[in-house]
Amino acid sequence: MATNGIGSSVKRKEDLRFITGSGRYTDDIQLPHQAYACFVRSPHAHATIGSIDRSAAEAMPGVLGVFTGEDVAADGLGGLICGWMVKSKDGSPMKAGPHPILAHGKVRYVGDHVAVVVAETLQQARDAAEAVIVDYGVLPAAVDVAKTHDSGIEIHTDIPNNLVYDWEIGDKAATDAAFANAKHVTRVELINNRLVPNAMEPRAALGHYDAGMDAYTLYTTSQNPHVARLVISAFVGIAPEHKLTVIAPDVGGGFGSKIFIYAEECVCLWASKKVRRPVKWTADRTEAFLSDAHGRDHVSVAEMAMDENGQFLALRVNTKANMGAYLSTFSSCIPTYLYATLLAGQYKTPAIYCDVQAYYTNTAPVDAYRGAGRPEATYLLETLVEECAKDMQLDPAEIRRRNFIPKDAFPYQTPVALQYDTGDYEPCLDKALELADYAGFPERRRQSEAKGKLRGIGFSAYIEACGIAPSAVIGSLGAGVGLWESAKVRFSHTGKVQVLTGTHSHGQGHETTFAQLVASKLGVAYEDVDVIHGDTSKTTVGMGTYGSRSLAVGGEALVKACDKVIAKGKKIAAHLLEASEQDIVFQDGNFSVAGTDRSKSIGEIVFAALVPHNYPPGLEPGMEETAYYDPANFTYPSGVYICELEVDPDSGVVEIQKFTAVDDFGNVINPMIVEGQVHGGLAQGIGQALLENAVYDESGQLISASYMDYTMPRADDLPSFVVHTTAGTACTHNSLGVKGCGEAGAIGSPPAVMNAVADAIGTRISMPATPEKVWRALQKTQLAQAAE
Amino acid sequence: MTSVTMTVNGKAVTRDIEPRMLLSTFLREELGLTGTHVGCDTSQCGCCVVHVDGDSVKSCTALAVQFDGASVTTIEGLGQNGTLHPMQEAFRENHGLQCGFCTTGMIMSSVDLVKKAKEQGITIDEHYVREGLEGNICRCTGYHNIVKAVIAGAQAM
């Protein structure tokens, strides 16, 4: 194996610019004569907009323009869209209220965009924004997803009960029948707490209208600039697609929150034409809290029917999902096709039924956040399974083992639409038990008790559907786009390679992994491969990065482009070597005549293609190949996580002692990067379980809108992790055998932590398990015991 | 407008600025030193950490005029003569970064943390590093590799 090849932990190409402060994020870009935008945001969760008096603001120093929803409407712009049509049980389409880029007539959450001020300097824009007077007619707000249905509050006109859709999946009759005959039923009620993604780089946008070229450029913090180009041109209607370039330069983390098309980036682009200046906006952190799409926020009831041996017979789930005030770009598919389809987990439960009611509330829009539906499914299922084990007096590892889909059952058709191509769950469980030293837990618990501490251990066996997504499948389920990926491999005269991908890297290290991949496939030097992404004027089309899709879909497109290079190279080699094309073999960067020592290096072949003095007649010169890849199925990474923690009963403080993660990601290109992805996911999942919570008060004010109020995981909140990636089972339907690794940590870890907390304190509490909540639960238990 | 003079990365600079201009804005907008990032505006995340007269300072909540006459080092000035500082090298070697946004502040804080520990004879172990970096938030790495990087960087410093 080459030292930089597939399977090698190559240090990242992108790091030099980041460690020296030479990265180029959106806010770092300065265009000549750039102006600054500041948004006037609603202080109310729900209100009508009467008059907007902008005269004082317009008269302030440096102000170039003040624009409102009336101006947007006057220019005939469309609104933001939700690109996935979900249908209700009765076949009716979901109810999507209008989502204008500046509010028109009404505001629907605190932070809703009411007006924008554009000025010479940021301070002038901020000062003038304070002088815009908006006449609000405050309305009662619906905030709690469990109460919005009967609140009597109408958030969008003609959408009764604020119900977006009432959707179902699975066989209800078969599930109900299994429950009727079950020996035992275990039931849990769960809240999946609302989170704010909190990429460290706040969202930013810099719009530029070039009057001379009648062309638009938008620099923006996006995970998928091509989809932004599509939505802004086809739906918002600011610029025709061929006259719009969207550039997502270095992006400082996304975690889903930068997939979506947001009002601010549209407004900056639109306003640039109005003031004939480039217009920049960068969110401050509180704006990010208020207006970035949030994640999770489910209220669920789940029941498992079992036989006398703890075999799962059927699973029945009802979930209420909070969509916020508007449907964000992919929001509708998160609590449906990315959630309920994962409820089989790693288990051969024969009957599953789930129905989901999605509601509008007067809160920020909710959409995909790292894992997107799959963490919600895993938290629900793995909490329920742990409670099943308790009820049946079975070891939590044993009940899982008893119900795992056996290795020989793959491909396995679940009762909730998905077909798992491959998997082998017991080895991951065994490895996790070994690494966590499960056998030694009782002794460690005794040692904790001797110190006056409560020790607990918790399990989670997760599955996820990644490599999003097979277009035909998602098309049949209501998706508005195809989710293939494109790749281009192009050579220059000197044999250097540029790789263009439609995926986007915002921390994942594609510049390294993709270079390893192409260098390995084409036998060129790793140093000679440069990966280009994030610019719609360079990569023609693409679908971006989310759903752990970049390698499994984008990487496979790259393989196909490399295959085309090799196929063309064989024609050229056959000509130069005076042999039949069928006799040319390609290996390690050399085209050879089989069974001879005659060969040409790929560098010589590329040179011949670009200086075609001696060249196959009829063959086009040049060496630049484009490929598209549309996957045949999702990929199904899986793993087992074990959390062991200690609770101080006097303070309620939870301290994780050891976190063990064993993942089957199929084949791995760069183990160092993969492990880093797991670490980050674990921190986010542990953050959800112990620390993070987005809290709205009853009037719809976000009372956790800064890092003083929203508890981000910090270095001293977390342990070092025990991470083990098994060779496991390679994906069967892509040539790389890869599955994706970006979301696993965030999907698998919350139930492991919460199961461990429940094990330690003897009662189940909701996330996040803050010291106060843990302490109160312990007091309650002790009071109950004292009363007995 | 107020005149402010300071030494930034070894060079004297003077600018007329609004008195309310933050040090982070001064570095980024006036001097083009965009390696100093702003992540939270409330001194919580540490993306904006620079060194002022040898101490780490969160530049997003300090006024530039406070530092008239001071010597400021940013991430761009950390390496000497075109070579990386050992802490920069350690972050790369240990995959202590992903998106890179918190990285510059994280490295600046780490350098100061290690320097202070060495001055005070404190052992630089995992516990010390985790406690010491409590003022820097990273959303990507889960800190696992940052801790490794800082311990490795400390050994090389």
A453 shares its domain with A564: no
In a domain, residue A64? The reply is: yes
A545 shares its domain with A651: no
- Give the C-alpha separation, A520 to A526, whole Å: 8
Span A717-758, pLDDT tens digits = 999 999 999 878 999 999 999 999 999 999 999 999 999 999
**CB-CB under 8 Å, A23 with B101:** yes
In a domain, residue A183? The reply is: no
Whether the CA torsion A12, A13, A16, A19 is positive or negative: it is negative
A519 shares its domain with A623: yes
Domain that holds residue A43: 18-139+200-253+258-291
A563 shares its domain with A652: no
Tell me: ipTM over 0.90. yes
- Give the C-alpha separation, A351 to A472, whole Å: 25
Span B118-142, pLDDT tens digits = 999 999 999 999 999 999 999 999 9
Span A612-659, pLDDT tens digits = 999 999 999 999 999 999 999 999 999 999 999 999 999 999 999 999
**CB-CB under 8 Å, A20 with B100:** no
Contact of B65 with chain A, judged by CB distance below 8 Å, is answered with: no
The residue among A133, A654, A230, A698 whose CA lies nearest residue A482 is: A230
- Give the C-alpha separation, A624 to A389, whole Å: 57
Q: Kindly report the nearest CA distance between residue B87 and chain A, in angstroms.
A: 9
Domains in chain B (CATH in brackets) are: 2-77 (3.10.20.30), 86-156 (1.10.150.120)
SS3 content of chain B, % helix, strand, coil (to 5): 40, 20, 40
In a domain, residue A277? The reply is: yes
A131 shares its domain with A231: yes
Contact of B119 with chain A, judged by CB distance below 8 Å, is answered with: no
- Which of these three, A577, A605, A629, is where a domain ends? A629
Helix (H) or strand (E) holding B7: strand B2-8
Predicted pLDDT at A737: 96
Q: What is the b/e burial string over A5-31, where b = at least 16 CB atoms within 10 angstroms of the residue's CB? A: bbebbbbbbbbeebbbbbbebbbbbeb
A130 shares its domain with A60: yes
What percentage of chain A exceeds 70 in pLDDT?
A: 100
The number of helix segments (H) and strand segments (E) in chain B equals 5, 5
pLDDT exceeds cutoff 60 at A1: no
Please, which residues have CB within 8 angstroms of residue A613's CB and are 6 or more apart in sequence? none
pLDDT exceeds cutoff 50 at A18: yes
Contact of B101 with chain A, judged by CB distance below 8 Å, is answered with: yes
A132 shares its domain with A51: yes
Residue A749 phi, psi (nearest 5): -80, -35
A495 shares its domain with A520: yes
Q: Kindly report the nearest CA distance between residue A258 and chain B, in angstroms.
A: 13
- Give the C-alpha separation, A620 to A584, whole Å: 19
A625 shares its domain with A638: no
Tally of CB atoms within 10 A around A51:
8
Predicted pLDDT at A2: 53
Concatenate the DSSP letters of all residues of A549-601 into one string. Answer: -IIIIIIHHHHHHHHHHHHHHHHHHHHHTTS-GGGEEEETTEEEETTSS-EEE
Please, which residues have CB within 8 angstroms of residue A714's CB and are 6 or more apart in sequence? B133, B134, B136, B137, B143
Angle of the A602-610 helix axis to the A556-576 helix axis, nearest 10 = 80
> Two tokens at A142?
């619906």
Which residue in B75, B131, B141 is closest to A679 by CB distance? B141
**CATH, residue A108:** 3.90.1170.50
A601 shares its domain with A546: yes
A555 shares its domain with A643: no
- Average pLDDT over chain A reads 97
Span A405-464, pLDDT tens digits = 999 999 999 999 999 999 999 999 999 999 999 999 999 999 999 999 999 999 999 999
Q: pLDDT category, A782, cuts 50, 70, 90?
A: confident
The residue among A624, A490, A629 whose CA lies nearest residue A555 is: A629
Whether the CB-CB separation of A602 and A494 falls below 8 Å is answered with no
Concatenate the DSSP letters of all residues of A630-669 into one string. Answer: --SS-B--EEEEEEEEEE-TTT--EEEEEEEEEEE-BS-S
Which of the residues B143, B145, B148, B150 would you substitute to probe the A interface, choosing the one with the greatest number of A C-beta atoms within 10 Å? Answer: B143
- Which of these three, A604, A629, A654, is where a domain ends? A629
The residues pairing with A190 across neighbouring beta strands, listed in sequence order, are A300
Contact of B143 with chain A, judged by CB distance below 8 Å, is answered with: yes
Contact of A19 with chain B, judged by CB distance below 8 Å, is answered with: yes
In a domain, residue A96? The reply is: yes
Contact of B30 with chain A, judged by CB distance below 8 Å, is answered with: no
- Which of these three, A600, A629, A658, is where a domain ends? A629
Contact of A389 with chain B, judged by CB distance below 8 Å, is answered with: no
Q: How large is the average pLDDT for residues A80-99?
A: 97
Asked, as a colleague might, if the bond just before A344 is cis with ω within 30 of 0, I would say no
Span A520-558, pLDDT tens digits = 999 999 999 999 999 999 999 999 999 999 999 999 999
A696: Cα separation from own chain's centroid: 23
In a domain, residue A543? The reply is: yes
Cα radius of gyration rounded to whole Å, chain A: 27
The residue among A23, A24, A29, A22 whose CA lies nearest residue A206 is: A29
- Give the C-alpha separation, A241 to A611, whole Å: 35
Please, which residues have CB within 8 angstroms of residue A158's CB and are 6 or more apart in sequence? none
Interface subset of A 104-163, CB within 8 angstroms of B: 123
Q: Kindly report the nearest CA distance between residue A683 and chain B, in angstroms.
A: 5
The residue among A257, A317, A342, A255 whose CA lies nearest residue A634 is: A342
- Strand, helix or coil for residue A362: coil
**CATH, residue A606:** 3.30.365.10
- Give the C-alpha separation, A357 to A656, whole Å: 35
Write out chain A residues lying below 8 Å of B147, CB-based: 715, 720
The residues pairing with A702 across neighbouring beta strands, listed in sequence order, are A696
Q: How large is the average pLDDT for residues A357-366?
A: 98
Write out chain A residues lying below 8 Å of B124, CB-based: none
Residue spans of alpha helices (H) in A122-243: 122-130, 172-180, 225-231
- Average pLDDT over chain B reads 97
Which residue in A123, A255, A708 is closest to B42 by CB distance? A708
Q: Which residue of B has its CA nearest to A286?
A: B40
What string of H, E and C letters represents the secondary structure of A527-563?
HHEEEECCECCCCCCCCCCCCCCHHHHHHHHHHHHHH
Which residue in A250, A708, A713 is closest to B44 by CB distance? A708
Whether the CB-CB separation of A223 and A213 falls below 8 Å is answered with no
Q: What is the b/e burial string over A525-540, where b = at least 16 CB atoms within 10 angstroms of the residue's CB? A: bbebbebebbbbeebe
Write out chain A residues lying below 8 Å of B107, CB-based: 19
- Give the C-alpha separation, A537 to A543, whole Å: 14
Whether the CB-CB separation of A693 and A709 falls below 8 Å is answered with no
Tally of CB atoms within 10 A around A505:
26
CA distances (Å), B140 to each of A252, A370, A462, B98, in order? 9, 11, 21, 6
Tally of CB atoms within 10 A around A128:
25
- Give the C-alpha separation, A201 to A696, whole Å: 23
In a domain, residue A765? The reply is: yes
The number of helix segments (H) and strand segments (E) in chain A equals 19, 28
* Tokens 């199961």 sit on residue: A755
Total number of domains constituting chain A:
3
A596 shares its domain with A644: no
Write out chain A residues lying below 8 Å of B91, CB-based: 15, 19
Span A224-265, pLDDT tens digits = 999 999 999 999 999 999 999 999 999 999 999 999 999 999
In a domain, residue A336? The reply is: no
Whether the CB-CB separation of A344 and A352 falls below 8 Å is answered with yes
- Give the C-alpha separation, A434 to A658, whole Å: 13
Which long-range contacts link A228-234 to residues 24+ away (Cβ below 8 Å)?
A228/A261, A228/A265, A229/A536, A230/A481, A231/A80, A231/A81, A231/A83, A231/A261, A231/A329, A232/A261, A232/A265, A232/A266, A232/A269
CA distances (Å), A101 to each of A118, A244, A269, A545, in order? 16, 18, 11, 24
In a domain, residue A235? The reply is: yes
Contact of B147 with chain A, judged by CB distance below 8 Å, is answered with: yes
Asked, as a colleague might, if the bond just before A411 is cis with ω within 30 of 0, I would say yes
**CB-CB under 8 Å, A28 with B28:** yes
**CB-CB under 8 Å, B99 with A507:** yes
Write out chain B residues lying below 8 Å of A16, CB-based: 92
Span A484-523, pLDDT tens digits = 999 999 999 999 999 999 999 999 999 999 999 999 999 9
Q: Kindly report the nearest CA distance between residue A22 and chain B, in angstroms.
A: 6
Which residue in A28, A200, A716 is closest to B39 by CB distance? A200
